[in-house]
C-alpha cells in the first residue's frame, strides 16, 4: 500500500460526477468532520465535500488509479486538508489504521469505471476502436484483460462472462475465444469485439453494443470489483462514527444487489415469533437505511450525462 501526497501534475481527467447534489445531501456533512472519498477519480464529488468543510475538517481521497490521483491533486490544489492515498477502498480499515484515524463521519463510493478510463485508448476499457487489452484500474497490478482472455480455461471464461456480464451467449463466446487463440494470441479490443460479434446471432444484437456485457464481465474480473464488495460495505459501516453516513453509487445489478444485501443485514431485523414478549434472537442493528428505494438521476441529468442513466445511490446511517 502506498500513501503519498501526489505531486501536482496536470492530467486531462474528464469525469462528470454522477448524482452530485444527492450525494452531498446524503452525506449530511459536518463542517469539522472526517470524510472519505473511496473512489476519488477527478475529484468532482470531493471538491463539493471540501466546500462544506472548515479548516478543521479533513478529506481522505483514495483511488487505485495513479493518473486519477494526479488529476485530483491538481483539481484540489487550493485545499490543504486532503490526504491522497494510492490504494483500493477495499483496504480502508488498514488505510485508516496507518493514518491513525479510528472512525470517520462519512464515506462515499462511486463504483465502476470512469469516463476518463473509458476514453483513454491505452487503458483498453472501451469496446469502440482498436486498443490494447488491459482494463486495469491500477496499472501496477499484474492481472490484465489480455491475461484473462488468453489464459483462462473455456469453462472459467464462460462462467465469468455469464455471472459478471449476465450474457446469455457466454458459452458460445468463450468457445470462440478459445478457438481463436489456438491460432494467435488475442491482443486488441477490436479482435475481441469481432469474436463476440461472431458469437451472437445478428437478430439478438439489438440491445446496445454486443460486446458491452462481455467487456463488463472481464473488467470486473480484472479489477475484482464484486467479490469483496459485500464485506467492504460492512467494513465501511463499522468505520463510521455515530450518525455517520455511507453513500454508494452503483452502475449495474450485481453491485446494487451486494450493497442492498449488506445494508439490510446491517440494519438488522428481529426474527423472533411475534408472540414472544421480548427478543431472544440476538438481532442487532448497526443503523438504518436512509433510502428505502435507490435514488436515481433525474431526467435532466440523464440527458446531460449518459453515464447517470444506470446509476443508483443507496445511503446508510450508523446509529
Please give the share of the chain, as a percent, with pLDDT higher than 90.
82
Q: Given this model, what pLDDT does residue 259 score?
A: 98
In the chain, where are the structural domains located? 2-112+226-318, 127-223
Segment 98-137, tens digit of pLDDT = 999 999 999 999 997 776 777 677 788 999 889 999 999 9
- In this prediction, residue 12 carries a pLDDT of 54
* Domain topology for 127-223: DNA polymerase; domain 1 (1.10.150)
Which pLDDT tens digit goes with each residue over 180-234? 999 999 999 999 999 999 999 999 888 789 999 999 999 999 999 999 999 999 9
What does the angle CA 132 – CA 66 – CA 238 come to, to the nearest 5 degrees? Answer: 115
pLDDT digits (tens, 9 = 90+) for 30-67: 999 999 999 999 999 999 999 999 999 999 999 999 99
Indicate the average pLDDT of the chain.
92
Backbone angles phi, psi at 2, to 5 degrees: -120, 120
How does pLDDT run across 277-305, given as a tens digit for each residue? 877 777 788 999 999 999 999 999 999 99
Q: What is the DSSP string of the chain?
A: -EE------------PPTTHHHHHHHHT--TT-EEEESS-TTSHHHHHHHHH--TT-EEEEEES-HHHHHHHHHHTTT-SSEEEEES-GGGHHHHHHHTT---EEEEEEE-S--HHHHH-GGG---SSS--BS---SSTTSS--HHHHHHHS-HHHHHHHHHHHH--TTHHHHHHHHHHHTTTS---BHHHHHHHHHTTS-GGGTTSS-TTHHHHHHHHHHHHT-STTHHHHHHHHHHTEEEEEEEEEEE-SHHHHHHHHHHHHHHH----S-TTSSS--S-----EEES-SS-B---HHHHHH-GGGGG-EEEEEEE-
Q: Was domain 2-112+226-318 assigned CATH 3.40.50.150?
A: yes
pTM: 0.89
Amino acid at each position: 500500500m502506498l500513501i503519498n501526497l501526489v505531486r501536482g501534475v496536470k492530467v486531462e481527467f474528464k469525469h462528470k460526477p454522477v448524482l452530485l447534489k444527492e450525494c452531498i445531501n446524503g452525506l449530511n456533512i459536518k463542517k469539522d468532520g472526517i470524510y472519505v472519498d473511496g473512489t476519488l477519480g477527478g475529484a468532482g464529488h470531493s471538491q463539493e465535500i471540501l466546500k462544506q468543510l472548515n479548516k478543521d475538517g479533513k478529506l481522505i481521497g483514495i483511488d487505485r488509479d495513479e493518473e486519477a490521483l494526479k488529476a485530483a491533486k491538481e483539481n484540489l490544489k487550493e485545499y490543504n486538508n486532503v490526504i491522497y492515498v494510492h490504494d483500493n477502498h477495499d483496504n480502508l480499515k488498514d488505510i485508516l489504521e496507518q493514518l491513525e484515524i479510528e472512525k470517520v463521519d462519512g464515506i462515499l463510493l462511486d463504483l465502476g469505471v470512469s469516463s476518463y478510463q473509458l476514453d483513454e485508448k491505452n487503458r483498453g476499457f472501451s469496446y469502440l476502436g482498436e486498443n490494447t487489452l488491459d482494463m486495469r484500474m491500477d496499472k501496477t497490478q499484474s492481472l490484465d484483460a489480455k491475461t484473462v482472455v488468453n489464459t483462462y480455461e473455456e469453462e472459467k471464461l464462460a462462467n465469468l462472462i455469464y455471472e459478471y456480464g449476465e450474457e446469455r451467449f457466454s458459452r458460445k463466446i468463450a468457445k470462440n475465444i478459445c478457438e481463436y487463440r489456438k491460432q494467435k494470441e488475442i491482443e486488441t479490443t477490436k479482435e475481441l469485439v469481432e469474436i463476440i460479434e461472431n458469437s451472437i446471432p445478428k437478430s439478438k444484437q439489438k440491445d446496445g453494443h454486443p460486446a458491452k456485457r462481455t467487456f463488463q464481465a472481464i473488467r470486473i474480473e480484472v479489477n475484482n470489483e464484486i467479490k469483496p464488495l459485500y464485506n467492504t460495505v460492512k467494513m465501511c459501516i463499522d468505520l463510521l462514527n455515530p450518525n455517520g453516513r455511507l453513500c454508494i453509487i452503483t452502475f449495474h445489478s450485481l453491485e446494487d444487489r451486494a450493497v442492498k444485501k449488506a445494508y439490510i443485514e446491517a440494519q438488522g431485523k428481529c426474527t423472533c415469533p411475534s408472540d414472544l414478549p421480548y427478543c431472544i434472537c440476538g438481532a442487532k442493528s448497526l443503523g438504518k437505511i436512509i433510502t428505502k428505494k435507490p435514488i436515481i438521476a433525474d431526467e435532466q441529468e440523464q440527458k446531460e450525462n449518459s453515464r447517470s442513466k444506470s446509476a443508483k445511490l443507496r445511503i446508510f446511517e450508523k446509529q
